[in-house]
Amino acid sequence: MPRAGLTTERVIAEAERMIDDGGLRQLTLAALAGRLGVRQPSLYKHIDGLGALEHHVAIRAKAELGDVLGRAAIGRSRGDAIAAMARAYRDWARKHPGRYQAAQRAPLPGDVEDEVASHRVVSVVAAVIEPLGLHGDDAIDAIRTFRSALHGFVSLEAEGGFELPVDLERSFERLVETLTTVLRRWSPFA
Amino acid sequence: MPRAGLTTERVIAEAERMIDDGGLRQLTLAALAGRLGVRQPSLYKHIDGLGALEHHVAIRAKAELGDVLGRAAIGRSRGDAIAAMARAYRDWARKHPGRYQAAQRAPLPGDVEDEVASHRVVSVVAAVIEPLGLHGDDAIDAIRTFRSALHGFVSLEAEGGFELPVDLERSFERLVETLTTVLRRWSPFA
DNA sequence: ACCATGTGGCTATTGCTAGTAGCCATTTCG
DNA sequence: CGAAATGGCTACTAGCAATAGCCACATGGT
């Protein structure tokens, strides 16, 4: 009986591929094992159950998204950086819908690894917004607005929540323009 | 053996209560039957399986959300109507997190009932935005921006996606103010 | 009042899922 | 080259949705 040569890495990678074309919901250990040419219980030698697998996928997705956002902002400033980051955010989410979805679960309190990965995304956004002169609560409000608008657009788009598939590019560019304008003019709150 | 006196209505209502305090994910026919004092197969006399049940819940949630938004805007105009609608949106989603989540699935093509309910939400928003002088593609972009920002905020809030639970009220009011300002000044696109 | 019909429960069963126990062949390392 | 570790496996349990088919209750007509 020749060995399949699985590793934790390969199992997770296949799970990622699986959810990116089929949705998070249809990730099952049975189907995953099938894809890897192995029986379902064999997976437990590499991952600690379905929950742990989803957790790994989530952390990796958060880390990669943070990375992508960071790279998008390099060499740009202010409005340009914000727009580039927004487009990178949407692009990544569209290329990896399952992983994006997996990344939405908040870390459990005390789960340091997850907290770090989650925080990275926020801190990259914060780093781009800070040069606009925003600090403290004003910066927090601005970051939340930015994230809300992007996450909202991306997830409505992914769910097919926009009724007409036409003109999504235009609508998104419009949203990006609005965001950059709004954030550049962000002012202290009463 | 006395009858339990179930109806389709009661089954759906109990499912709604169930997902509103526990999340959509933990809606199972077994648990639902337990709550209703009945065995699991008995539910099939009233609903056509778990998928159909979720579908009913989704349609009712969309209809009710559309209703709530419509009522919020009555007697107000322009910025006031937009702000009131935004607050009503968030309030309803917070009061009914499971139903809000259920309402996010887009209708399958040809599912007229679902399409009507889905469209109602969009058309209420459209009705409030139109008096600002927006038509055609500009109105579509504006509606999408509005929905994106609200849905994004609400779902990030529900998932615990904002790191600090403090100041959410302030951040939301800020978002609402920003939205009303942006929409009032919405201009034709190049 | 009573019988006939329809219906809302039920038990029993199937098939799919996650997860556990424990075996054994292959690999790896002293 | 032998011993230990390891990565597959089969066999099993338990929970889930769903179907088949039974039977008691409720209802309505004569």
pLDDT tens sequence for chain A (190 residues): 667 789 999 999 999 999 999 999 999 999 999 999 999 999 999 999 999 999 999 999 999 999 999 999 999 999 999 999 999 999 999 999 999 999 999 999 999 999 999 999 999 999 999 999 999 999 999 999 999 999 999 999 999 999 887 799 999 999 999 999 999 999 877 6
Q: In this structure, are residues B156 and A145 in contact, taking their beta carbons and an 8 Å threshold?
A: no
What distance lies between CA A19 and its chain's CA centroid? 13
* A29-33, A133-137, B3-7, B106-110: least confidently modelled range: B3-7
Instruction: Provide the 10 A C-beta neighbour count for residue B45.
Output: 11
pLDDT of residue A175: 98
Interface of B with A (CB under 8 A): 104-106, 118-119, 122, 137, 140-141, 144-145, 147-153, 155-156, 159-164, 167, 170-171, 174-175, 178, 182, 189
pLDDT value for B13: 98
Mean pLDDT of B7-34: 97
Check A122 against B163: CB less than 8 A apart: yes
Question: What's this model's pTM, rounded to 2 decimal places?
Answer: 0.96
Nucleotides of C under 7 A from a protein CB: 7-12, 16-22, 25-27
Closest C-alpha among B90, B73, B86 to residue B176: B86
**Residue in chain A nearest B119 by alpha carbon:** A163
Taking the CA atoms of B127, B91, A159 and B23 in sequence, report the sign of the dihedral they define: negative
Distance A15 CA to D10 C1' (A): 25
Q: Above 90 in pLDDT, residue B109?
A: yes
Inter-chain touch A151–B155, beta carbons under 8 Å:
yes
Nearest CA in chain B to A108: B160
Q: C-alpha distances in angstroms, A105 versus A69, A131, A169?
A: 19, 29, 27
B-interface mutation test, from A148, A162, A180, most B Cβ less than 10 A away: A148
pLDDT in tens, A46-56: 999 999 999 99
Q: Is the pLDDT of residue B146 over 80?
A: yes
CA distance B161 to A49: 25
Amino acid letter, A124? V
The string of pLDDT tens digits covering residues B115-128 is: 999 999 999 999 99
Query: In this predicted structure, what is the pLDDT of residue B187?
Result: 80
Average pLDDT over residues B8-32: 97
In 3D space, the residue among A10, A12, A122, A112 whose CA is nearest the CA of residue A58 turns out to be A12
pLDDT at B1 over 70: no
Q: What is the pLDDT of residues A82-122, one digit of tens each?
A: 999 999 999 999 999 999 999 999 999 999 999 999 999 99
Asked if B189's CB is within 8 angstroms of A163's CB, the reply is: no
B48: the nucleotide nearest its CA (via C1') is: D18
For the segment B30-56, the average pLDDT, to the nearest whole number, is 98
- Closest Cα in chain A to B145: A175
The pLDDT score that the predictor gives to residue B188 is 75
Average pLDDT, chain B: 95
In this prediction, residue A165 carries a pLDDT of 79
Identity at B188, one-letter amino acid code: P
What pLDDT was estimated at residue A190? Answer: 64
